[in-house]
Amino acid sequence: MAPELPARWTRAQRYPDMWLDPSEDPRERERPLVTERDVLVEYLRRYRLTLELKCADLDAEQLARRSVPPSTLSLLGLVRHLSEVERGWFRRTMAGLDAPPRYYSKDDPDGDFDNATADPELVEPAWQAWREEVEFAEAYVADHDLDHQGVTGVRLREVVVHLIEEYARHAGHADLLRERIDGRVGQ
């Protein structure tokens, strides 16, 4: 027998099939996207906010809840993973900094997901690490032209597009994880 799923959750008043009404959605801005930089930076900003929205109002157990066995995919794992992705691309690949991974190693290549357990002591540090990496990345992008090459020769444009792709893929995972937790559906 299949487990009972939660009812659909919404805060929207005007569009009950959405999480939020568009006027309440922090991802929406009414400014034109004119340049390539505007488009890329704005899409990355929106996907980062999407991750935060998908995790909003959840406790440690809910954030660490796995999708389906044997997967270790969880919202907390996604926060930790995307922190590592930001760190790897912007600190190491672009800036050439000595910034070892926080959550995984050669001995534990999936530590960002495997060790994302329902411990409240893991949640705030994961969000803090993610915010630090996003802050570093935003400053780096603001200070460099899209044609700027990192220490490995990859151009900033390619890194930003890759991050958009990474967040987009994981936003889909987050949609399914969140719906399984409390019925809240994607937007």
118 by DSSP, 3-state: which?
coil
By the 8 A CB rule, do 171 and 54 touch? yes
- Specify the pLDDT at position 9: 58
10 belongs to a structural domain: no
Residue 4 pLDDT > 60, yes or no? no
Find, among 157, 123, 149, 163, the residue nearest to 35 by Cα: 157
Total residues belonging to the chain:
187
User: How far is 166 from 47, CA to CA, in rounded Å?
Assistant: 9
150 by DSSP, 3-state: which?
coil
4 belongs to a structural domain: no
pLDDT tens per residue across span 93-118? 999 999 999 998 889 999 999 999 99
Both tokens assigned to 11: 């805060």
166 belongs to a structural domain: yes
129 belongs to a structural domain: yes
155 belongs to a structural domain: yes
- Boundaries of domain holding 50: 22-182
101 belongs to a structural domain: yes
Can you tell me which residue has the tokens 């792709």? 165
Residue 70 pLDDT > 70, yes or no? yes
- Name the band, by pLDDT with cuts 50, 70 and 90, for residue 179: confident
Q: What is the mean pLDDT of the chain?
A: 88
Q: What is the mean pLDDT of residues 8-14?
A: 61
Residue 86 pLDDT > 70, yes or no? yes
Residue 68 pLDDT > 90, yes or no? no
52 belongs to a structural domain: yes
3 belongs to a structural domain: no
- Model confidence, pTM: 0.87
pLDDT tens per residue across span 123-167? 999 999 999 999 999 999 999 999 999 999 999 999 999 999 999
- Residue 70 DSSP one-character state: T
| Amino acid (1-letter code) at residue 103 | Y
Q: How many domains does the chain have?
A: 1
By the 8 A CB rule, do 90 and 150 touch? no
By the 8 A CB rule, do 181 and 62 touch? yes
* Range with the largest mean pLDDT of 7-16, 21-30, 47-56, 153-162: 153-162
Higher pLDDT, 128 or 184: 128
CATH at residue 62: 1.20.120.450
Residue 3 pLDDT > 60, yes or no? no
Both tokens assigned to 66: 């796995």
Find, among 176, 166, 171, the residue nearest to 84 by Cα: 166
- Name the band, by pLDDT with cuts 50, 70 and 90, for residue 187: low
